[in-house]
Amino acid sequence: MQIAADELVVELDRTDAMMRDVERCAGQGCSHDFERLFEAQLRRLRSMLGTDGAQAASDVIEAAERVLTAADPAAPLLMLSLARKTLAAVMRRQANAMRLRAA
């Protein structure tokens, strides 16, 4: 699947918005709506990032689920923050590589 660098940036913004919602609902349980959003987002990210970024995307979704289901979400929130930074770095690196190839 051929994607543009700008599509990666848009998807990163979408993921960040979803994770901000997760942070607001920390410790309140993982609703079916969140589960559906997570599954759809993970499918999109895996198809865009391939094997290089699939693990980073999975780590973010798993950390988000832990944040929602934890009785004390402090540690899972830290894990989510680290996973988000890793995913952002992978996506930005891939987007920059695409831009360089296009130039």
Which of 66, 102, 100 lies closest to 81, judged by CA? Answer: 66
Cα dihedral 18, 7, 49, 94, rounded to 10, equals -110
Question: pLDDT, tens digit, for every residue of 9-22?
Answer: 999 999 999 999 99
pLDDT at position 26 over 80: yes
Question: pLDDT, tens digit, for every residue of 49-95?
Answer: 988 799 999 999 999 999 999 999 999 999 999 999 999 999 999 99
pLDDT of residue 5: 87
pLDDT of residue 51: 85
Which of 41, 28, 35 lies closest to 68, judged by CA? Answer: 28
pLDDT at position 2 over 90: no
pLDDT of residue 1: 54
pLDDT of residue 54: 93
